[in-house]
Amino acid sequence: MKRLVLFGFSLAIVLSMKAQNKPDSTDMFFKHLELKELKVSGALGDMKVKETPMSITILRHGDMQQLSSTNLINLISKQPGVAQITTGGGISKPIIRGLGYNRIVVVNDGVRQEGQQWGDEHGVEIDANEVGTVEIIKGPASLMYGSDAMGGVLIFKGMPTPPMGEIKGCLNTEYQTNNGLIGASLNMGGNHNGFIWDARYSEKHAHAYKNRYDGYVPNSQFGERAFSLKAGVMRKWGFSNLKFGYYNLTPSIVEGERDSVTGELISDGDLLSYRHGLPYQQVYHYKAVSESFVNLPSGHLKIIAAYQQNRRQEYEESADDYGLYLRLNTLNYDIRYVSAERAGWKFSTGVNGMGQKSINLGEEFLIPDYSLFDAGAYATASKALSRWNISGGLRFDYRYINAKGLVEDGDVRFEDFTRHFNGITGSLGATYEVAQGLDLKFNIARGFRTPNISELASNGEHEGSLRYEIGNHDFESEYSLQADFGLHYANRLFELYASAFANHIDNYIYLHRIDSVVEPDLMTFAYAQGEALLMGFEVGGDLHPFHALHIGASFSYVDARLLNQTEDMQWLPMTPAPRLSTDVKYELTHSGKTFKNAYVAARMDWCLEQDRYYAAYGTETATPSYLLLGLSAGTDVWIKGRKVAELVLIVDNLTDVCYQDHLSRLKYADINVVTGRQGVFNMGRNIVFKLTVPFK
């Protein structure tokens, strides 16, 4: 009942925004139409947002510049229906509508990112500075991306190509007061007679962050470095380009150990040092991507081939000797044909997949060496009928995993095993334009996911998660059936959107604590399978009573439960808390001589109490509600008719609230014997300065 009341309250906020039309706000109506005209990627090629039956959010570069974050996933986690699992300030993993890890596919440079994403203690290996737009697909997208896209897809696209004959660049800099984060990114690219090129170098460093309860949190510092180089040609027949990327993340691992007398966090080094402490990780990601797009008389052909190598090293006792070292090599391929539209019909067909090989090069082991082969083929069709747009398709996937056994000190650490998985997935959806500005959407989709290597075979200490994990190589594939319903309405002053979903998953794999000890001082967790049901919604709106003022609100809710379980095991682990967000933005100047697009803004995020958690064996605990306030301001600076800088100032957690996000892994660290509080708390007040200098 309490949650229904809160939903009603949030919906009332949105609906109360409706006002009478005013002539001077006509331009805001066209901005809404512009958003609806944006195109997103899919199996049917580029589709307008209003035409796709799936729930999709688009985050553009200008929006991202006005937000603060310590990493890329932290940046997008502020969107409705999106959350993050965190391990300190430098490590975040995405959650979409209660699903994460290998249930979300991350696409960057046109290929799925493969970086051992089953782990808690490292994030997505992508430089946030090179991201131009983010497409967030909520719900099963197995039709387009195969296994693992059961919960949704995050598509990161680069910055646009410079116009013909131009060389453009920019310098992005950032400083944050709480953790001393210093970041800089230098980019330059050009387009000379259709020959395009782009280069970027980025670096970011932060020392330990702080909050009022814990002070500075030892070993929460991190460093990040990235480099990319791209070259290609653009012609009437299409385009072809080749891109090389390098990414390195060095996060220290917060263990949260406390003094048994004072209760204070134990520190072995300088809390304001930017150098890593012990334990820490080195994560490297190398990537080469070849992409070609060929215009044909009847449509177009797109071919992508990529090589990725991900290295993850953990250093525990010495900065010179790693204990765990995983190296993952991946070859990706994607070939798709999209027909031109004829009489409202559009068809597409394609094949994509990957080959992988992972080996252990260290002295400690969590998963066995393994090889994987994955292939999928699909066909889709769409039809535009007056106000209707109907689309759907079918796909077949095959995956093969072969794991190599290991005997350690006479004991069997890993067993040899081979598994074959296959699945048929599909979707059918429709959009209907009820009237100008009002669209309805419905989609039903079947998702498919094979167990990952950690779920099948893990048997070892997961250092970053402070636990020992045990897998089961007899697990079956997960299958989901999800229904989505959406509504979007926009007029000259007012915009409203709502999206509801129900997702039933067979053979759902989850991690839970068990009442046994394999390694002293470590909790033991094991994977299990069950039947799951996730239901929820996102609702929100925007009001523009006049040109300069914007008022927005959104509410996200997920109910995720395991069926046929006892009371303490009925809720899925790692389910985000309900969240109400509001923001108010006022534009001070739009076309001034020196200061243009100047604004001030305020934001509120209210995360409600999460009292629906997996309680068996102390796997999870309840999380109280908390309210975060923020302020921001920004402007473009022009001199002699030329933009010379973009300035942004952001204050996060204005009132310095001490809180723990329900999805923070640090919630379960040691108890402070003096205060009785368990775990480490999130970052306190943080002031962010951003400066961007464009040049030609």
Helix/strand/coil (H/E/C) assignment for every residue in 415-473: CCEEEEEEEEEEEEEEEEEEECCEEEEEEEEEEEECCCHHHHHCEEEEHHHCEEEECCC
Tokens of 78: 């502020």
CA 310 to chain centre: 18
142 pLDDT tier (thresholds 50, 70, 90): confident
**Percent of the chain topping pLDDT 70:** 93
Rounded to an integer, what distance in angstroms lies between the CA atom of residue 642 and that of residue 639?
Answer: 5
CA 352 to chain CA mean position, Å = 22
Average pLDDT for the chain: 89
Tell me the average pLDDT across 12-26. 36
For position 552, what pLDDT does the model report?
95
Residue 43's pLDDT band, with cuts at 50, 70 and 90, is low
pLDDT digits (tens, 9 = 90+) for 463-484: 656 678 899 999 999 999 999 9
* Number of alpha helices (DSSP H) and beta strands (DSSP E) in the chain: 6, 38
Assess whether pLDDT exceeds 70 at residue 168. yes
Residue 21: its pLDDT value, please?
A: 36
In this prediction, residue 274 carries a pLDDT of 94
Q: Which of 49-58, 412-421, 509-518 has the highest mean pLDDT?
A: 412-421
DSSP result, 155-170: EEEEPPPPPTT-EEEE
Which range has highest mean pLDDT (109-118, 146-155, 407-416, 500-509)? 500-509
Task: State the pLDDT at residue 113.
Answer: 92
How confident is residue 38, by pLDDT bands cut at 50, 70 and 90?
A: low
CB count within 10 Å of CB 318 equals: 10
Q: Which of 213, 57, 69 is nearest to 630 (CA)?
A: 69
22 pLDDT tier (thresholds 50, 70, 90)? very low
As a whole number, mean pLDDT of residues 165-190 equals 96
Q: How far is CA 638 from each of CA 200, 641, 694, rounded to the nearest angstrom?
A: 25, 6, 11
Residue 75, helix vs strand vs coil: helix
pLDDT of residue 5: 38
List of long-range contacts for 509-512, beta carbons under 8 Å, 24+ apart: 509/451, 509/455, 509/475, 509/478, 510/562, 510/572, 510/573, 510/614, 511/469, 511/573, 512/569, 512/573, 512/614, 512/616, 512/617, 512/619
What pLDDT was estimated at residue 36? 52
Question: What are the phi and psi torsion angles at 101 (to 5°)?
Answer: 55, -125
* 35 pLDDT above the threshold of 90: no
Q: Confidence class of residue 17 from pLDDT cuts 50, 70 and 90?
A: very low
Please report which confidence band the pLDDT of residue 39 belongs to, taking 50, 70 and 90 as the band edges. low
Q: Is 36 helix (H, G, I), strand (E, B) or coil?
A: helix
Q: Does 413 score more than 70 pLDDT? A: yes
Alpha helices in 131-202 (DSSP H): 142-145
Q: Which of 9-18, 205-214, 278-287 has the lowest mean pLDDT?
A: 9-18
Distance of alpha carbon 103 from alpha carbon 572, whole angstroms: 14
Beta-bridge partner residues of 176: 688
Choosing among 3.40.50.2300, 3.40.47.10, 2.30.30.60, 2.40.170.20, the CATH entry for 2-695 is 2.40.170.20
- Dmax over CA atoms of the chain, in Å, equals 81
Quick check: 194 and 164 in contact, CB under 8 A? yes
More confident residue, 445 or 37: 445
Parse the chain into domains and list their residue ranges. 2-695
Burial 46-64 (b: 16+ CB within 10 A, else e): ebebbbbbbbbbbbeeeeb
Give the amino acid at 332: N
- What pLDDT was estimated at residue 660? 96
**530 has a pLDDT exceeding 90:** yes
pLDDT average, residue stretch 172-200: 96
- Residue 12 reports pLDDT greater than 60: no
Q: Which residue has the tokens 């539209």?
A: 341
Confidence of residue 28 (pLDDT cuts 50, 70, 90): very low
Categorize the per-residue pLDDT at 32 as very low, low, confident or very high, splitting at 50, 70 and 90: very low
CA nearest 91: which of 220, 231, 228?
A: 220
In this model, does residue 119 exceed pLDDT 90?
no
Backbone φ/ψ region at 109: left (φ over 0), alpha (ψ -120 to 50), beta: left
Across the strands, what pairs with 403? 370, 417
CA–CA distances in Å: residue 344 to residues 53, 60, 339, 385? 16, 29, 11, 7
Q: Using the 8-state DSSP alphabet, how is residue 73 labeled?
A: H
Higher pLDDT, 269 or 234: 234
Q: What token pair was written down for 483? A: 């229904």
Least confident of 4-8, 91-95, 570-574, 647-651: 4-8
Give percent of the chain above pLDDT 90.
Answer: 68
Q: Which of 328, 378, 326 is nearest to 353 (CA)?
A: 378
pLDDT in tens, 123-132: 889 999 999 9
Give me the pLDDT at residue 41, please.
62
CA 563, CA 256: separation in Å to the nearest integer?
34
Q: Residue 674, CB half-sphere, CA atoms under 13 Å: how many?
A: 10
Q: What is the C-alpha to C-alpha distance for residues 689 and 632, in angstroms, rounded to an integer?
A: 10
pLDDT at 375 over 90: yes
Q: Are 458 and 470 in contact (CB under 8 A)?
A: yes
- The structure's pTM equals 0.90
Q: Contact 188/161 with Cβ under 8 angstroms? A: no
Give residue-wise pLDDT tens across range 619-663.
Answer: 899 999 999 999 999 999 999 889 999 999 999 999 999 999 999
Write the burial class of residue 30 (CB in 10 Å: 0-12 exposed, 13-18 middle, 19+ buried): exposed
| pLDDT confidence tier of residue 44, bands split at 50, 70 and 90 | low
Question: pLDDT tens-digit profile of 497-529?
Answer: 999 999 999 999 998 888 777 777 778 889 999
Model pLDDT for residues 575-611, shown as the tens digit of each residue:
999 999 999 999 998 888 899 999 999 999 999 999 9
pLDDT score recorded for residue 434 = 94
